[in-house]
Amino acid sequence: MSDFFRTIQAESRGLYKEKMSKFISFAVPVVTADQARAVVKRIANEYHDARHCCWAYMIGTARNEYLSSDNGEPSGTAGKPILGQINSYGLTNVVIVVVRYFGGIKLGTSGLIGAYREAARQAIASAVIVECHEQARVTFNFPYLSMNDVMKIVKADEKIHVIDQKFDNDCLMTLETDADRLPPLKQRLLDVTGLAVISG
């Protein structure tokens, strides 16, 4: 599995019109399924007068957490083509929502599939696609007397980010870095007197 993944930098939009029907599409970066569902809810509320609000999301570097919805359109005509565009661009950590305003003329199965596919494609096409490095975390505790040794390690690498820290007689810290840099980081930390890794 690659440590790199492709996603979009920021929310983007697309618009596709077909036989009086209007398809407004949104591509939004997310990192969890809950965030994706919250985006769907926000857009559905904002466009509550639209006939349909169809969507698909893909989560995780392994790209194995995904879901799609036709939201009342004939089965397989909306969610699947939206998800298909996410796949064809090799994206993850993204949700695409397409709201449809019905124009009075039925598009038929193939017409719907083509319209939702094109609307999703336009949202992606107007986004900035970025390649990101998978991140990983390590949480550990150590005695206060070892603080200088720990901070030397943290400050020696700009790719190490402090996520959480609690300083007392017994200190606790969580660090985040690129996934492939975590094993050597843990090795350096374990050389510190009294340090114990809790998780990661």
pLDDT in tens, 88-142: 999 999 999 999 999 888 888 999 999 999 999 999 999 998 888 888 899 999 9
Range of the domain at 153: 135-199
pLDDT beyond 60 at 1: no
pLDDT at 178: 87
Q: Are residues 17 and 95 in the same domain?
A: yes
Res. 180 pLDDT band, cuts 50 70 90: confident
Q: Are residues 84 and 145 in the same domain?
A: no
pLDDT at 2: 56
CB 21 within 8 A of CB 115: yes
Q: Are residues 174 and 128 in the same domain?
A: no
Q: Are residues 142 and 103 in the same domain?
A: no
pLDDT at 192: 93
Would you call 150 exposed, middle or buried from its count of C-beta atoms within 10 A (0-12, 13-18, 19+)? buried
Higher model confidence: residue 60 or residue 188?
188
pLDDT in tens, 146-168: 999 999 999 988 889 999 999 98
pTM of the model: 0.74
Q: Are residues 125 and 142 in the same domain?
A: no
Asked which of 108, 132, 156 is the last residue of a domain, the reply is 132
CATH at 97? 3.30.230.30
pLDDT in tens, 29-83: 998 999 999 999 999 999 999 999 999 999 988 888 999 999 999 999 999 999 9
pLDDT at 121: 97
Q: Are residues 69 and 105 in the same domain?
A: yes
Buried b (16+ CB within 10 A) or exposed e, 21-59: bbbbbbbbbbeeeebbeebbeebbeebeebebbbbbbbb
Q: Are residues 22 and 83 in the same domain?
A: yes
pLDDT at 157: 87
Q: Are residues 122 and 141 in the same domain?
A: no
Asked which of 132, 151, 177 is the last residue of a domain, the reply is 132
SS3 158: coil
CATH at 142? 3.30.70.60
Number of domains into which the chain is organized: 2
pLDDT in tens, 19-28: 999 999 999 9
